[in-house]
């Protein structure tokens, strides 16, 4: 499972067997809006498949708190020995007599979960939790182009996910959403886009008439065309969508009770959802004027939008690039308490 082809620092694995893999000294690693699994790796030891079980047990016991060892052949991981797994096998009747002198390949998990270094942590967590119950606490093996990088423990994943969730909430409570106008070129992930759209769909609407309609554009040619249409309304030679890789146009059915309010709230929900996921967004206006032109009407027809729809606004989406903008001070007379 590979999430990008970015050039990455390679972590040297001690090729001599029984050597420690040095602890990765990574900056907090991000893949798009997510923490990457290789930001969580721990040192491990590599052993050969031929090592006697007795020696592997000694290594696990001698080197607490290491509780998993990777079995490696020609630098590629071929199995995992976890302390839980080994104890389970040896505590069985005759376990020690049967296995102590045998090679670890006889008792290792020959099909451990392996993930590529740039896998987002939430994807890795999903894969880890889908394992059979007896393996659910086993370490994940992290590889880069199939070569071992290190291991990640399940508690470390849980701890990190809990921290991310805490920070996500803080971002909403501290009102840290800002309009973002500079983006990285990568496209946002499908699951992130869907979460944002869902937040928009679940916004309140007048009489629950759900009058809003979203059109998502990621195709570069269409984005270029829409950018030119928007710039023409603005009367400026610039890209009003700031080179964002995703655009959500929000329309509303004029025949419903509160179309503009419904669409605006949907956009507001989407902005907050995006901010909570570390994704940048910004309302870009002039959607109404764009879709009142013949060109705009043709596009609506092409997209299958029939009926009396008004273009209320739009949201650009992408991974923010650069410093997070500071909020402008709030005006003094914002609130009147009666």
**327 lies in the site for ligand FMN, by CB under 6 A:** yes
Give the C-alpha distances (Å, rounded to integers) separating 331 from 103, 165, 178, 328. 73, 31, 17, 9
Axis-axis angle for helices 83-90, 53-62 (nearest 10): 130
Residue 171 φ/ψ region, left for φ over 0, alpha for ψ in the -120 to 50 degree band, beta for the rest: alpha
Q: What is the DSSP string of 63-104?
A: TTT--EEEEEETTEEEEEEEHHHHHHHHTSTTHHHHHTTSBG
Site string for ligand FMN, 290-319 (x = CB under 6 A): -----------------------x------
One residue of 285, 288, 289, 300 binding ligand FMN per CB under 6 A = 285
Give the C-alpha distances (Å, rounded to integers) separating 136 from 113, 118, 120. 10, 21, 19
Question: Which of 131/178 has CB closer to ligand FMN?
Answer: 178
Candidate segments 119-127, 131-139, 194-202, 276-284, binder of ligand FMN by CB under 6 A:
276-284
- Characterize 170-181 residue by residue with b for buried, 16 or more Cβ atoms within 10 angstroms of its Cβ, and e for exposed: ebeeeeebbebb
**Residues listed for the chain:** 338
Cβ 327 to ligand FMN shortest distance, Å? 6
Question: Which of 135/182 has CB closer to ligand FMN?
Answer: 182
**325 lies in the site for ligand FMN, by CB under 6 A:** yes
One residue of 282, 290, 299, 317 binding ligand FMN per CB under 6 A = 282
Q: What is the DSSP string of 218-271?
A: --HHHHHHHHHHHHHHHTSSS-TTTT-SEEEEEEEETTSSSHHHHHHHHHHHHH
Question: Which of 71/203 has CB closer to ligand FMN?
Answer: 203
One residue of 85, 139, 144, 181 binding ligand FMN per CB under 6 A = 181
Helix (H) or strand (E) holding 281: strand 280-284
Site string for ligand FMN, 57-96 (x = CB under 6 A): ----------------------------------------
**137 lies in the site for ligand FMN, by CB under 6 A:** no
Verify cis geometry, omega within 30 degrees of 0, for the bond prior to 2: no
One residue of 123, 193, 284, 299 binding ligand FMN per CB under 6 A = 284
Candidate segments 31-39, 64-72, 108-116, 279-287, binder of ligand FMN by CB under 6 A:
279-287
**179 lies in the site for ligand FMN, by CB under 6 A:** yes
Cβ 283 to ligand FMN shortest distance, Å? 4
Q: What is the DSSP letter of 207?
A: G
Question: Which of 54/178 has CB closer to ligand FMN?
Answer: 178
Tokens standing for 19?
């050597």
Sheet holding 280-284, edge to edge: 212-217, 246-253, 309-318, 280-284
Q: Which residues pair with 253 in a beta bridge?
A: 309
**30 lies in the site for ligand FMN, by CB under 6 A:** no
Question: Which of 70/282 has CB closer to ligand FMN?
Answer: 282
Question: Which of 283/303 has CB closer to ligand FMN?
Answer: 283
**178 lies in the site for ligand FMN, by CB under 6 A:** yes
Q: Which residues bind ligand FMN (CB under 6 A)?
A: 178-179, 181, 282-285, 313, 325, 327
């Amino acid at each position: 499972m590979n999430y990008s082809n970015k050039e990455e620092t390679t972590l040297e694995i001690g090729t001599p067997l029984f050597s420690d893999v040095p602890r990765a000294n990574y900056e907090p690693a991000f893949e798009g809006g997510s923490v990457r699994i290789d930001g969580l790796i721990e040192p491990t030891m590599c052993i050969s498949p031929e090592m006697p079980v007795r020696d592997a047990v000694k290594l696990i016991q001698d080197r607490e708190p290491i509780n998993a060892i990777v079995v490696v052949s020609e630098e590629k991981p071929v199995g995992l020995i976890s302390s839980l797994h080994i104890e389970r096998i040896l505590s069985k009747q005759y376990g020690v007599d049967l296995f102590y002198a045998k090679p670890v390949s006889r008792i290792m998990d020959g099909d451990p979960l392996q993930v590529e270094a740039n896998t987002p942590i939430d994807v890795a967590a999903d894969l880890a939790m889908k394992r059979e119950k007896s393996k659910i606490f086993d370490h994940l093996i992290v590889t880069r182009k199939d070569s071992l990088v290190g291991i990640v423990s399940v508690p470390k994943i849980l701890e990190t996910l809990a921290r991310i969730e805490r920070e996500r909430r803080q971002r909403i409570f501290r009102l840290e959403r800002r309009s973002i106008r500079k983006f990285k070129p990568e496209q946002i992930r499908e699951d992130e886009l869907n979460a944002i759209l869902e937040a928009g769909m679940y916004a309140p609407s007048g009489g629950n008439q759900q009058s809003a309609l979203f059109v998502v554009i990621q195709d570069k040619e269409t984005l270029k065309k829409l950018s030119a249409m928007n710039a023409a309304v603005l009367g400026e030679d610039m890209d009003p969508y700031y080179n964002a890789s995703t655009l959500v146009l929000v329309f509303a059915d004029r025949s419903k009770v509160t179309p503009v309010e419904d669409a605006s709230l949907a956009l507001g929900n989407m902005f907050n959802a995006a901010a909570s996921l570390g994704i940048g967004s910004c309302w870009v206006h002039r959607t109404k004027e764009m879709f009142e032109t013949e060109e705009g009407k043709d596009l609506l027809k092409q997209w299958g939008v029939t009926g009396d729809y008004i273009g209320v606004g739009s949201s650009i989406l992408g991974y923010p690039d650069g410093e997070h903008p500071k909020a402008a001070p709030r005006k003094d007379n914002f609130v009147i308490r009666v």
